[in-house]
Amino acid sequence: MLDHRLSSEYEELRRTVAEFANDVIAPKIGEYYEQNEFPYEIIREMGRMGLFGLPFPEEYGGMGGDYFALCLVLEELARVDSSVAITLEAAVSLGAMPIHLFGTEEQKREWLPKLTSGEVLGAFGLTEPEGGTDAGATRTTARYDEATDEWVINGSKCFITNSGTDITGLVTVTALTEPLTHSSDGSSNHSPTREISSIIVPTGTAGFQVSKKYSKVGWNASDTRELSFTDCRVPAANLLGRQGRGYAQFLRILDEGRIAIAALATGLAQGCVDQSVQYAGTRRAFGRPIGANQVIQFKLADMETRAHISRLAWRDAASRLLHAEPFKKEAAIAKLYASEAAVDNAREATQIHGGYGFMNEYPVARMWRDCKILEIGEGTSEVQRMLIARELGVTS
């Protein structure tokens, strides 16, 4: 018989993070959010809790957990605040995970202990100003300089999370590289074949410039910036994995990341339910709590239903991932449904709160501002529908 209940270890982790979110994040995050400040104090405490190392082996400073545990944590954090949740999600799924999955032993030893402790944040430079959803249309280039044994990077990236904080240590950048073939005499020959590779660029490298923070609608307590590279040189050893495998690498990273975003979206959707149930029980109109009105009850029932189904969807996808089963379709379904559920719940929560829902001092106002990006980042809703149709065998 199937059992959807959490194990005692997972439940203890979930409860611990829920308490942290309610006791530590909730009282402070509003001020960070309104002042567009990165919550370094909160991030340090999350590092001490081991949250940044959850799915990584202990030999690299991790907690020896798994991706399911990470998603549990993201849901609980996002029930209170999405800026903190997306900081953790990007740091783990986009910053550290590529090095864990594709890096050399030397790269893992150098970077993972810092990343898993939260001492350093990593970022993933994929999206470009003219690329957007078409991530394969990369224009950033990396030319190999044989004289110095270095990659010379030129180009730009946009909407990159965790790329400009005081504790950012690296950005893994996708770039066009020329295939190198070696002849029998040891000389190198260049092929014109187009390929994409991933390269680690440490913060502070000459020619690597980080722009000022974007002015965003939501996620105001997270860090998002544009990056530019002008003759930026890094050692050839900074190549992540095999040359020309960058496209395949980020496709895998995005597939896994969609489960994490689905969990985050589920947390936001559930947070809207939590806040609305509390408000409906205390807000009085026409002599009784507004929760006594059937129209409010039906709204809350629909909101809870959406959050519940979202949770089942991401847990199913995460379980398939952990059991090494195909999960691409299930991840796309989870991300699509949960992100749209978050948007629907945030809209209804704001409606239930009435005029107060439009005031930034109420968490639902922050949730309303944060929800829309969930239908865009890690692949738009349209892309998820394309992926699902493709997995069904429907092709154009």
Q: What positions carry a catalytic annotation?
A: 378
3-state SS, residue 175: strand
Question: Which amino acid does the sequence have at 363?
Answer: P
- CB contact at 8 A, 304 and 275: no
Could you tell me how many residues make up the chain?
396
- CB contact at 8 A, 181 and 214: no
Distance CA 388, CA 379 (A): 12
Q: Choose among 242, 240, 237, 246: nearest CA to 148.
A: 237
Distance CA 241, CA 106 (A): 12
- CB contact at 8 A, 102 and 240: yes
- CB contact at 8 A, 197 and 142: yes
What are the tokens at 3? 């059992």
Instruction: Say which residues have a Cβ less than 8 Å from residue 20's Cβ, sequence separation at least 6.
Output: 45, 46, 49
168-177 vs 141-145, strand pairing mode: parallel
180-182 vs 168-177, strand pairing mode: unpaired
What are the tokens at 337? 């449904």
Provide the strand spans (E) within 236-365: 239-240, 284-285, 288-289
For residue 366, the tally of other CB atoms under 10 A from its CB is: 26
What are the tokens at 343? 């948007």
